[in-house]
Amino acid sequence: SQAFDADAALKERAVRVIPGGMWGHQNSARLPAGYPQFFSGGEGCRSRDANGRSYIDYMCAWGPMILGYADPDVEEAAARQRAEGDGFNGPTPRLVELAELVVDVVPHADWALFSKNGTDATTACVTTARAGTGRRKVLVARGAYHGAIPWCTPSVAGVTEEDRAHLVPYDYNDVESLEAAAESVKGDLAAILVSAFKHDLGKEHVLPTSAFAQAARRIADAHDAALIVDDVRAGFRLDLGGSWEVVGVRPDLSAWSKAIANGRALAMVTGNDRFREAATKIYTTGSFWTAGVAMAASIATITKLRHVDGVAKMWGAGERLRKGLQAQADKYGLPLKQSGPAQMPVFLFDGDGDRSLGNRFCLEALARGVYFHPTHTMFLSVAHTDAVIDETLEITDEVFKAIA
């Protein structure tokens, strides 16, 4: 007899009461058939679906998990704050402690303000840049994702042309196109918005060239505009001080979220003194933006990442995985194309236009207890130890063999 399929039963109930059964990026219908929709738990680098199947998880809740699910130090800090209280008529002392810590850790930051989602933060960066410069135009890379409200959502449903009237496209890592875009709106340029690195869905991931990063800084300065780094996805994985530290360029404003509280809902804008007054003038707020538990979790997360040298650990684990996978792909003669920083990889296959090979690779891994994503940036965490990588590689050897 067939075991009860809790995921299928939940999906069936969901289509009746939830639009499309699930909205947005976590809709499992966006993945090859066979991926679970619902999850019930997780510890360390492993998560468990609603049917109780456990996976070595290379999506890390789409980025927020960075130290491990249910990390004991973060959970203890959160529990302590929960006992004291979460939301009041004003913020808790954790707000000042967290802002002080962030200003200490992030070199470009003279101040920080907090919200909940990455979109809150990218939007507040753009608003601050416009308030500070008195200008309208924002340069945005073609294909880059910056959030899910009308000015930036990838869908056009429900969006008006006017919502995006002041966005000007350029190509990431293409200095000439950036220069031309800036020149085309001379006198009205508020900001250049850049992703931490090029991490477009379904495409090879590419780090910023140092020429591009320096040009972005130089062009922003020449036009007296803001340079904004969208560090929502990459924040704290490439460098604790912000992802463009690796190319030696400091932005005026950065947007953060995902990993900054190890899974608790928190986003942040960091900025320099040039934009302090502008950030004071704009009106940005939300009922839950000052909640203390997420901030306590964030303080514990940043403190621990610093203490254990989390970035180096994630990089090392990612390199171990990358080298192991490459050797296996070569052994079985499969055109695996790994790209992105080691701690935030994407796995694609050459000549796999219909994604059939990538999808099979991911489904065979899923069936053996490894959760990869066929097209999106994946994430390593501090909980992905060398032993976990080796366990993964034993499984992927079988996966490559099965699809070869």
List residues binding ligand PMP (CB under 6 A): 117-119, 122, 145-148, 195, 230, 232-233, 257
Element (H, E) at 276: helix 276-281
Question: Which residue lies nearest ligand PMP, judged by its C-beta?
Answer: 118
Burial class (CB within 10 angstroms; exposed 0-12, middle 13-18, buried 19+) of 94: buried
Shortest gap between Cβ of 19 and ligand PMP (angstroms)?
A: 17
Q: Which two tokens stand for residue 93?
A: 């002392």
Q: Name the residue nearer to ligand PMP (CB basis): 267 or 329.
A: 267
Distance CA 252, CA 223 (A): 14
Q: Name the residue nearer to ligand PMP (CB basis): 113 or 232.
A: 232
DSSP summary character for residue 353: T
Q: Name the residue nearer to ligand PMP (CB basis): 119 or 381.
A: 119
Q: Name the residue nearer to ligand PMP (CB basis): 6 or 59.
A: 59
Shortest gap between Cβ of 146 and ligand PMP (angstroms)?
A: 5
Q: Name the residue nearer to ligand PMP (CB basis): 153 or 396.
A: 153
Shortest gap between Cβ of 76 and ligand PMP (angstroms)?
A: 25
Q: Name the residue nearer to ligand PMP (CB basis): 329 or 344.
A: 344
Query: Which of 58, 113, 82 shows the shortest CA–CA distance to 260?
Result: 113
Query: Which of 55, 33, 34 shows the shortest CA–CA distance to 43?
Result: 55
Q: Which two tokens stand for residue 225?
A: 């505009």
Distance CA 170, CA 213 (A): 14
Q: Name the residue nearer to ligand PMP (CB basis): 122 or 254.
A: 122
Shortest gap between Cβ of 258 and ligand PMP (angstroms)?
A: 7
Shortest gap between Cβ of 62 and ligand PMP (angstroms)?
A: 7
Shortest gap between Cβ of 234 and ligand PMP (angstroms)?
A: 7
**CA distances from residue 225 to 49, 126, 131, 139, 398 in whole angstroms, order as listed:** 46, 11, 11, 10, 52
Which residues touch 156 (CB under 8 Å, ≥6 apart)?
A: none
Distance CA 367, CA 124 (A): 42
In 165-318, the DSSP E strands lie at: 167-170, 189-195, 226-230, 253-256, 267-271
Shortest gap between Cβ of 341 and ligand PMP (angstroms)?
A: 14
